[in-house]
Amino acid sequence: MRFKFRGKGFSFALSQGLFSAAAIDTGTGFLLKVLSQQWDKAKRHGLPLPKTVLDAGCGVGVIGICVAGALGAPEDSTLGQCHVRCQDRDELATVITEYNAQKNRIPPGLLSSHTEPLLGGPLHARWDLIVSNIPAKAGKPVLVDFICRSAALLNPEGSVLIVVVNPLADFFRAHIAQANLPLQYDKPGREHRVFMYGPLDSTPHTYGSVAYPGKGPLEPVQGGGYLLQDYPMYHRRRGDYVMEGIGYSLDTIQGVADFDTPSGAVQVAAKLISRLNRDTLRVSFLGSILIYEPGQGHFPRWFLEYLTQAKKPQDASGVYRWVFFSRNILALEASRYNMYPETVRTVLGLDLSVNRKTLAIALEPESRTYDLILGFPQFVPQTDRIIPLWEGLRELLSPGGMGIIALPASEAERFDRKKPSGFNRLGDCKRNGFRALGYQVSS
């Protein structure tokens, strides 16, 4: 997809697995048009262009790459070193942004790409410009926090430039005013509105205040297993759930699917496990367990309760080695939080085949293979990752190890048809358009 910014041409690869897969979003184009006008105005007044830029929620990197390309051009360059940091909660966005940066010949020193929460990043980082085509589905508490936190992360003369869909325009305007932020620009468009506001003043914004309902200092969001505890704006609800007669409690997080109920794939996987003979599942011998795309944590929480009930008294002291693997850093934070965070390793990545070496190293020094892999893969449309998924299972499962994969029924059918030799089918369960399949590696 071709795009022009400040007279320079760019070319972008898009992805069916990310926002605005068919074309560059009109909101992104609108924001970049306004940004170019603001830079023209700054140059007329002899003001410098930004040196440090954060693209929050970067998607495939259109905004950040256009900004980097313009700042790196001789006619628009500022004195000293410029840097654009692109970040998104999705590892796929990080990978495609890096690819697009190379495609457009953006030097690595000028732009970097990271998998982070919306306003995550290095502690104490400050920016001349924060830009975002802000995700409307992030959840209103997260959006309120974004307004104050982004302003607090600016350098003294910095600005935040965001584009929002028109139904959220009044919401943002009201909260910008409530936080007492200088509104520098308010531009209406056909479907979107652009806001530009300046730094937070020196007035403390404490937890529970009207202006800032968040908690703690207004620094970049830091992960590590306690996101819901440290940043309550991400907390959606705590609920009690029952699957296959086993109850569990769960705290759900903004920005991750299945916050009200476990997905159909999770439910059919639980049903398959409950049908399997516990000796077949080898409950007493399980040590290392990999959960691929754990989401909010519904399945690992349920499975922990299942294992606790299934183990014989003499096996109750056994310790499981849990590894959670996902594209979505918020999903990893949520699912780890809902377990015992100190007992869970998390790995960011795209799929089992691409990241199999990292997943193997996650178990060292005890082992490099898993006794059980439970997968809820999210296939990207117009790509075929079935054979690589099988390759990942073959390499990561221990001899006699078991893999359970839950998918929409049509994808499960294709997956099962491509089963390679060396795997024995142990179970098959269908429910409400989803299908779970269990396999064991030949010893």
CATH number listed for the domain at residues 2-197: 3.40.50.150
Angstrom distances, CA of residue 20 to CA of 28, 86, 135, 330, 434:
10, 17, 11, 20, 26
Residue with tokens 């499960």: 412
Could you count the other beta carbons within 10 Å of the beta carbon of residue 237? Answer: 11
Pick the CATH number of 257-441 from 3.40.50.150, 3.20.20.140, 3.40.50.2300, 3.20.20.10: 3.40.50.150
Q: Smallest Cα–Cα separation from 68: which of 162, 134, 5, 127? A: 5
Q: Enumerate the domain spans of the chain.
A: 2-197, 257-441
pTM for this predicted structure: 0.91
CA 17 – CA 24 distance, rounded (Å)? 14
Q: What is the pLDDT along the chain (443 residues), one digit of tens a residue?
A: 788 899 899 998 887 666 555 568 899 999 999 999 999 999 999 999 999 999 999 999 999 999 999 998 655 555 457 999 999 999 999 999 999 999 999 998 999 999 999 999 998 999 999 999 998 888 899 999 999 999 999 999 999 999 999 999 999 999 999 999 999 999 999 999 999 999 987 544 444 454 555 556 789 998 876 788 889 999 999 999 999 999 999 999 988 888 889 999 999 999 999 998 776 777 666 789 999 999 999 999 999 999 888 765 444 445 788 999 999 999 999 999 988 767 899 999 999 999 999 999 999 888 899 999 999 998 876 678 899 999 999 999 999 999 999 999 999 999 999 999 999 999 999 999 999 999 999 86
Nearest 5°: phi and psi at 95?
A: -65, -45
CA 336 – CA 297 distance, rounded (Å)? 7
Q: Helical H runs in 276-380?
A: 278-281, 298-310, 329-337, 356-361
Nearest 5°: phi and psi at 79?
A: -65, 140
Q: Which two tokens stand for residue 425?
A: 């089918």
Antiparallel, parallel or unpaired: β 52-56 and 127-133:
parallel
Answer for the pair 241, 250: CB distance below 8 angstroms, yes or no.
Answer: yes
Could you count the other beta carbons within 10 Å of the beta carbon of residue 198? Answer: 16
Angstrom distances, CA of residue 74 to CA of 62, 68, 78, 79, 146:
20, 12, 9, 10, 33
Domain pair 2-197 / 257-441, same fold:
yes
Q: Smallest Cα–Cα separation from 289: which of 424, 423, 398? A: 398
